[in-house]
Amino acid sequence: LLLLCYTEEEAVIVSGLKNTDVFVGESATFTCELSHPGVKNVQWWLDGSPLHNNFVTEISEQDGMIHTLTLNDVACHDSGTVTFRAGSLISSAKLLVKGILLLE
């Protein structure tokens, strides 16, 4: 019988954030997968500002390992660096919100 005991320090990022390009008004989704659940102090940031779960910013977690951030109805000023932190683990990616050029 092999018993595996995990501590927070042993967690690693299995799949990190990926750069995302979307148009104004669309949703942008970022996903980070950890090697195991139970990592404390999980936080999402956009350009250094902490994000909180609300109707525009959806933060979810599946099985304690797959962490997802969805930014709804994005605007040009939402472009920046999205960062996921879980304990000492950090993953970042760029969000580029592209405007729509209307030709008269």
Instruction: Read off the pLDDT of residues 37-75 as tens digits, 9 standing for 90 and up.
Output: 988 899 999 999 999 999 899 999 999 999 999 999 999
* Residue 3, domain member (yes or no): no
Indicate the pairing of strand 42-46 with strand 57-62.
Answer: unpaired
Nearest-angstrom CA–CA distance, 102 and 104: 6
Percent of the chain residues past pLDDT 90, beyond the cut: 76
Tokens 């525009």 map to which residue?
A: 56
Residue numbers of the domain that contains 85: 13-98
Nearest-angstrom CA–CA distance, 49 and 6: 30
Give the count of domains, the chain.
Answer: 1
Q: Which residues pair with 29 in a beta bridge?
A: 70
- Contact assessment for residue 44 and residue 58, using Cβ atoms and an 8 Å cutoff: no
- Contact assessment for residue 23 and residue 100, using Cβ atoms and an 8 Å cutoff: yes
Backbone angles phi, psi at 13, to 5 degrees: -85, 115
Tokens 């609300």 map to which residue?
A: 54
* Residue 60, domain member (yes or no): yes
* Residue 59, domain member (yes or no): yes
Confidence of residue 30 (pLDDT cuts 50, 70, 90): very high
CATH code of 48's domain: 2.60.40.10
Which amino acid, 40?
K
pTM of the model: 0.86
* Residue 2, domain member (yes or no): no
* Residue 1, domain member (yes or no): no
